Structure 1
Amino acid sequence: MHDIRVIRENPSEFDAVMARRGLAPVSGHILKLDEERRSKILAAETAQAAQNKAAKEIGAAKASGDTALFEKLRDEVAAQKAEVATLQVEAKTLDAALTEMLGALPNLLHDDVPVGADEADNSEVRSWGTPATLNFSAREHFELECVKLGMDFETAAKLSGSRFVVLSGSVARLHRALAQLMLDTHIEENGLTETWTPVLVKEEMMYGTGQLPKFGEDSYQTTNGWWLVPTAEVTLTNIVNGMTVEENTLPRRFVAHTQCFRSEAGSAGRDTSGMLRQHQFEKVEMVSITHPDKSLEEHDRMTRCAEGILEKLELPYRTVVLCTGDIGFGAIKTHDIEVWLPGQGKYREISSVSVCGDFQARRMQARFKPADGGKPQHVHTLNGSGLAVGRALIAVLENGQQEDGSVILPKALHPYVGGKTTLNVDGSLC
């Protein structure tokens, strides 16, 4: 959500930033609606003042016994009351229209976000690790012999339809182990607070983080109005919804491991093989609530937290800053971390870490009280995957694959699978 005062003060600058996202100038429409809304509010307040004044005069007329004046003033008050009610309804309608217009606009962008049309124009920040040179043809995760018995798409399709999977045996254990390693690292080494949250949320929570109203088709809604979370960003960020917290309690850093649900409405035909793009998946999500002066610094810290998991797992990756044509609706700046997948022969996203400024905080009415006693200010919010568990499983399987179809596991996982080091061709761990 945007601050209307900023648009009033710098309409051309606002339009210039929206143009970086490929949008036509919008400040004129916004300011016209804002002027109409303010005019109605002023008219309602003026009419209310006149009504209050006439109401006081009614009492004096009645006390003086002037029946004619009393009846005249009574009729005037009745008319003014109706006028006030009409103006208030009109002002409320215009206010809702302005809120809807502002709520449909994406966030402003940081100055160093590169200009570009799509993911091909993203700019690499750094890379880590070197993709292994294999002396055999690399296979995708679902083609590995050791995986086939523990990754069942046919049964999942029978149960739920396409883009679901049933994991079992050693593959399910590895999936669980990865989530545990991520949580332990973020809690014990990165200082995040472990949090367990619902996966069903109210509509206003989805609005608060920007999933609604624009992206409703990307998520699932139950028949009684709850929404299934597309990520724990929704619940973790909304912990401060409607709150004014003390400055000395910032930053607030949360991490949660949850099921996530996405309709994948805009991905028809993409990544239909394997478990790269599913309707139900697991993620370890990081969220930070910070002071505005610290949010960009926190963005870099969170990116390093996610990168550190990949380094522990010995998985080559690269980090890119998203360009203007690829960045998300609510972000002012985003780092995507892409892990190397030998089976596809390319890097694929495994984490997206975004700083949202006060964009979500305005929608949630989340503020902090300055330590010096100044006026409450909106907090800044950040979110990032730390990591997508299923994609981490894919990366471990493909990067550790051997010619015979077995998989060598990264050392960091050994303690989480009872000291086992290898996923054998027959699907067992040894």
Structure 2
Amino acid sequence: MAGHEFPSLLGAGLILLIIFYLGYLSLKIKFPNVILYILLGIVLADVVSDNELLHFASEIGIVLLFFLLGLEFSVKRLGGIAKKIWPAGFLDVFLSMGVAMVLAMGFGIDLFNAFLIGAVTYATSSSITAKLLDDKGRMANTETEFILALLIFEDLVAPIAIAILIGISSGDSFTVMDSLVLVGKIIGLTVGAILLGKTLFKHFGKFLEKIDDEDFKIALLVGIALSYGGLALYLGLSEVLGAFLAGMMLAEIGNIERVQQTIVPVRELLLPTFFVYFGTSIEFGDGIPFPLLLVVLVLWSVIAKVIVGIIGGKMFGLSKRSSLRAGLSLCARGEFSVVIATIASGGIKIFSGIYIVIAAFLGMALFDFAPKLTNRIYGKPQKKKKSLKVPGNL
């Protein structure tokens, strides 16, 4: 009797049950659930690496994460942040990508692969960092705006790096005109989001109030997020950039809580699948290529982000304490690094995969201990004394 093919639906159900258990376990042992999800993906890599259902669910989860993140940034607020973040952003490019590229070349890596390695080590994982900010209750911290602004800057730079690498690796010459077209697409997508926010979605809040059925709201809001994210992909950009801009379109409605209440449950269901799928994309292979370079780059990637936090945070207007805490919270690598690593081949691909796993784990650990490490260096912040007024005294 011929065996039956294992149903994808059964596999999806089992993965969701395991995700529930790992989430519950993380609360009990006080361990970041993101790490457990990535480990699950690594363990299940041979079984679900080609699972289209898991891949699709993970894409929706990451799109909704950035859609909700974009809701926090109106055009006015984003413009104010852009004026403050560009010095730290370019410092980040120089230290996290440029210096890493030079270090790789120092170990005998050719120019293209050195650029690829520099790009892998550059971008902080926006998804991991945003999720940890939310999980650890640090969204209201003074450094959070700086962290999110830097992540947005990186999300704009990383697609350009990916496009250049793809252009070079395909054997075609990547010209200055190609670069200008790419930048034009990013600007066009951004301007389009702003115009839609100021025109079509100007009275969107009043329209949402008239919709009583939550099912229709979910279809509408998820549809907007996926459509603009998909448009970004169609233009050769990142879907997370498109999703962020879609959220920014709706940020103009004012009372964004109505949108958040509808989307957050869907995001919470699907987002863990992104981290599981991320784990399935890591291929360890046999042995560790360039082990000394791996150690050097892991150490430098942490040092570079801490320097960006300390110097860039001060440029942004943060205190020394908040700047250090920000730098220690920017060390995790993730989704963009994975996308860039897929361009690599042979030993460089294995090297990149191992680096990403180590950097993701180390970055999440540093994020977790950032407040304690900051307090150890600068001491615990003193609580402000409340001035008590005695009734009758002037």
TM-score, scaled relative to structure 2: 0.28
Structure whose residues are more often strand by fraction: 1
TM-score, scaled relative to structure 1: 0.26
Structure with max Cα Rg: 1
Structure whose residues are more often helix by fraction: 2
Higher relative contact order by CA 8 Å / sep ≥ 6: 1 or 2? 2
